[in-house]
Each structure stands twice: as C-alpha cells, then as structure tokens.
Chains A and B, each alone.
Chain A
Amino acid sequence: MRKHQIELQINGKAIAREIEPRLSLTDFLRGEQGLSGTHIGCEHGVCGACSILLDGVPIRSCLMLAVQADGHALTTVEGLTQDDGSPGLLQAAFQDAHGMQCGYCTPGMIISAQALLADNDDPSLEQIKDAIGGNICRCTGYVQVIESIQLAASRMREAHL
C-alpha cells in the first residue's frame, strides 16, 4: 500500500512520518507515537475516550485518519502536563477532586474541559455539562468530573487575579 508523508505537531513537537492512508489517528497516536493516554472506547465517535485537541478544538481521533491530521497541531492528554511531567492545572484539579473512578474516560474528559476552559474560566454548570456532553463515563461519576472542572476554573481565576 502506498505510504503518505505527513508533517504535524504533537504536543508541541514537530513530527514527520510516512504512514499508510488507512491508519486512524488514534492508532497513529497510540501505536506509532506511544501516546497511550488517548483511549479507544467505541471506535465510532460516541464515547469520547479518544478525544484530542486539533488546533485547540476537541475532536474524536477515532473518526479521523492520520493522513488528515497533516499540517495540524494536536494536543493529547500527555501534552497537558507540566514540563517535568507532573499534572498540569486541569489534571491536578481532576486528581484533587477525584474526578474519576476507573479513569478510562478521564483523558477525554480532560481534553473536553481543556477546550471549555481555554476561553471561559468561569463556566456555568450548564456550560460544563454541555462541554462534557460528548464524553461517556461508564462508572457514571459525572458529579465529581463537574466538580473537578469547577475546581480547575476557580484555580485559573485565582491565578489570573
């Protein structure tokens, strides 16, 4: 099968690869880039476990081919940590408010929350619910996810003051 050359940015790092056109973006991230924080859940765009940021916009990486990401900047959950690898502000809030149970949906939740908080550091409850509306938590621990996002938002506001 003919391979395609793609050049993209993943978590701030420039990457150039030759890949087969049928390779999904999730498989590219998990398999070729070793970024296994992006999870595969339903593989048809329903569960949100594979969410990543594409130029700052949350997308389902299972519904996109890796070749389509050519020229774009991607952010995965690994890209939201601090430089030393410790949890970033949003991740720390999820940790402190225990916004997870099994943790499988967590990377997707964090990506959706990141997109929300990027241009709104004081979201209403409805806005938070709407932002994570595309992420399914099979443990049904939504309340703590919402509290985590509220905690992150309050910390962001404090940091801005």
Chain B
Amino acid sequence: MNTVMNEHLGKNLHYVAHKRRVREDKRFVTGKGKYVQDVNLPFTKHAAVLPSPYPRARILSIDTAAAEALDGVQMVLTGEQMAVDCNPIRLGLKLPEINWYPLAVGMALQIRSKAQAGGRLRDTFLNPITGLMPAVKKGIRPW
C-alpha cells in the first residue's frame, strides 16, 4: 500500500500506512520522565495550607511564632493576611456566624537554601504543620 502510494505520489511517505512506535515511552519505563515534580528551579518555594480541624469554628487567635522559628520556614501567613490578596477564598463562606477563616488558617512557605540538600525541601515543608498544630488547637474553639 505504502509502496503503491509512494510510486503514485513520487514521494517517500514515512508516516502513512506505517505502524509508528511511541518515542517517549523509553524514558517513562526507565524512570527518566520529566514531570513538574521533577523540575527543580533555584529559589523554588513550597507552600503548605493548614485547614481548621473543625468544620464550624471561630478562630480566636493564631500564634505563628513556633512555626516561624523552625529551620527552613520562610514565611507564615494567616488566613486574614491572605485574604487581602486572595478574595476567592471567601466565596461561598458567608453563612451567618461562620467565619471564612476555618478553611484557610495558615500558610507556610519555605525556601530551600543553597546549602540544603535536595531532599530537605519537602522535608522542611512538613515542619510548619507540626509547628502550627498546637497553636491552632489552642486558638480554635469549636462551636
């Protein structure tokens, strides 16, 4: 079929009537795929969002000092601070007596300093969660 067409058209048709092999499979099967997760740019920051452990609650206070003191934590934002730039977080959360805070209590960003080995990026990312939890538990009162 291909030969007939080639003769007819006077061209070498590489892709017509040929079974083509998928080229990218080789890197996937050997573990050499490149996904977003594998992209490691300098100064990449990772974020962790800590939601309230209670579906309906009022935040009395948030103490971020413990989280901020941890090695690798660059910044801790409360929901209140985030709301200044992130209005969409408030959508659908305007029921009476329900503050929007419980769904976005705290946010921690950290940066991997040049001295840190690669694996510590996500490692340090876990810190703010454990650091924030006691503070949040103290600060949130379930209704």
Which residues of A are interface residues toward B (Cβ below 8 A)? 19-20, 22-24, 27-28, 30-32, 34-40, 76-78, 81, 85-87, 91-92, 94-95, 98, 100, 103-104, 106-107, 110
From B25, B119, B120, contact of A100 by CB (8 A) = B25
Cβ B22 vs Cβ A98 within 8 A: yes
Cβ B118 vs Cβ A31 within 8 A: yes
From B29, B33, B121, contact of A94 by CB (8 A) = B29
A99 to B42 CA separation, bound complex (whole angstroms): 34
- 7 tightest A-B contacts by CB? A37-B31, A31-B119, A103-B28, A31-B118, A91-B29, A77-B31, A32-B119
Cβ A95 vs Cβ B26 within 8 A: yes
Cβ A110 vs Cβ B29 within 8 A: yes
In the assembled complex, which residues on chain B have CB atoms less than 8 Å from the CB atom of A32?
117-119
Interface string of B76-111 (1 = CB under 8 A from A): 000000000000000000000000000000000000
Cβ B29 vs Cβ A92 within 8 A: yes
From A23, A24, A38, A91, contact of B30 by CB (8 A) = A91
Q: Which of B27, B33, B38, B117 has the most CB of A within 10 A?
A: B33
Which residues of B are interface residues toward A (Cβ below 8 A)? 22, 24-33, 35, 37-38, 117-123, 126
Tally of A-B residue pairs with Cβ under 8 A?
78
Q: Would A23 and B25 be within 8 Å (CB), given that A37-B30, A37-B31, A104-B35 are in contact?
A: no
Given contacts A22-B123, A31-B122, A78-B30, 9 further A-B contacts (CB under 8 A): A27-B122, A36-B37, A38-B31, A78-B31, A94-B29, A95-B25, A95-B26, A100-B25, A100-B29
A103 to B29 CA separation, bound complex (whole angstroms): 8
Specify the main secondary structure of chain A where it touches its partner: loop
Find the A residue at minimum CB distance from B27: A103
Q: Would A40 and B123 be within 8 Å (CB), given that A103-B28, A106-B29, A107-B31 are in contact?
A: no
13 CB contacts below 8 A, A to B, read A19-B119, A20-B123, A30-B118, A30-B119, A31-B120, A32-B117, A36-B38, A37-B31, A86-B30, A95-B29, A100-B25, A103-B24, A106-B29
A28 to B123 CA separation, bound complex (whole angstroms): 9
In the assembled complex, which residues on chain B have CB atoms less than 8 Å from the CB atom of A91?
29-30
In the assembled complex, which residues on chain B have CB atoms less than 8 Å from the CB atom of A30?
118-119
What distance in Å separates the Cβ of A50 from its nearest Cβ neighbour in chain B?
A: 11
Cβ A22 vs Cβ B126 within 8 A: yes
In the assembled complex, which residues on chain A have CB atoms less than 8 Å from the CB atom of B120?
20, 23, 31
In the assembled complex, which residues on chain A have CB atoms less than 8 Å from the CB atom of B38?
36
